[in-house]
Amino acid sequence: MPTTRTTVLFRRTPDGLPKLDDFEIVKDTLPPLADGQILIENRFLSLDPYMRMQMGGGWTYSGTSLKPGDVMVGRILGAVIETKNPEYKIGDHVVGRLGWRTHAISNGNDLDFKIQQKSGVPLSAYLGACGSNGVTAWVGLKVVGAVKPTDTVLVSAAAGSVGSAVGQIAKDMGCKAYGIAGGAEKCRIVSEEFGFDGCVDYKSNDWPERLHAMCPDGFDVYFDNVGGEMLDNVMAQMKRDGRIPVCGVLSEYNAAGEPYGIRNGRLLFDKSLRLQGFVLNSYRDKWDEARAELVSLIGAGKLKYLETIANGIDLAPAAFIGMLEGKNLGKQLVRLS
């Protein structure tokens, strides 16, 4: 059994985009297991935008921030390699928010779920397409967005792990699905590989006009991952009684100064729009239902996904910074073992 592990610690609050020296990589000794505990060898680490909020310098949706010396927060997928808990056997694969480290000790209470792997679904997908990202897409679209098969759906950050799942779930329901992404190649992937009905590049100055030309009748549901000025522009193209589930505000995670204020707020009244933020932990009762459907869609070839994988925990900080800069395609993972 291993006696040491490698861990990434939070060192200091970034000023805007994080830098490599905002993190510290350390080795420590693994204590022996107590009764009821398991030792997990972590295979994959999920890197997600919410981690930037936890690093401070602004606001966090959990109300707490990391303190210098804390383990960087994040979900892992790992295998049980030692157990003193009768509910877990050696070889079980589990997912939990256990931090940026190569090995973790758990009593099971801090785990999300034990993987019951289905044929045709790679293990890594349980951190992305049928893990927290896919479940976030499912909950935001079906529960918060109350989507109907006749709806026209728009999603920002459409090439990302959440956004790409949103459009494909909508298409499977019979909806029209459109995306907003950054760059011609990402727009091509959204349309050609993920099967959206269209996608506009927000890096073009006239993207709102292109969006209107692509779908002049407007949108019933806008799944918002970006916030800020993009949300303002899309509100002007929403249909009456439209729903806007807000999953994230990518435009503000690294922003300095005063945050962007919504200028089209009157449209909430004029069009009877519903704007609702949500966090996944508030919908734990839906996780199993969502995951079962997502696994089925992947197995049937109806939910495609991309992964960008960095190899080794030492590369986790650089991969995280690259993800915040939009350098990844699909889900950003780190292979730990």
Q: For 76-111, what is each residue's pLDDT tens digit?
A: 999 999 999 999 999 999 999 999 999 999 999 999
What's domain 4-128+306-335's superfamily in CATH? Answer: Medium-chain alcohol dehydrogenases, catalytic domain (3.90.180.10)
Q: Are 186 and 329 in contact (CB under 8 A)?
A: yes
User: To which residue do tokens 């992937």 refer?
Assistant: 189
**Residue among 50, 37, 195, 46 at smallest CA distance from 123:** 46
Looking at domain 132-281, its CATH architecture is 3-Layer(aba) Sandwich (3.40)
pTM of the entire predicted model: 0.88
- C-alpha–C-alpha distance, residues 284 and 321, integer Å: 29
64 pLDDT above the threshold of 70: no
Query: Is the four-CA dihedral 179, 182, 184, 185 of positive or negative sign?
Result: negative
Q: Do domains 4-128+306-335 and 132-281 have the same CATH topology?
A: no
C-alpha to C-alpha distances, 305 to 130, 227, 322, nearest whole angstrom:
10, 24, 19
| Per-residue pLDDT tens over the stretch 107-164 | 999 999 999 999 889 999 999 999 999 999 999 999 999 999 999 999 999 999 999 9
Q: Where do the structural domains in the chain lie, given as residue ranges?
A: 4-128+306-335, 132-281
Dihedral in degrees, nearest 10, Cα atoms 163, 166, 171, 176? -70
The whole-number pLDDT of residue 276 equals: 97
Q: Are 66 and 10 in contact (CB under 8 A)?
A: yes
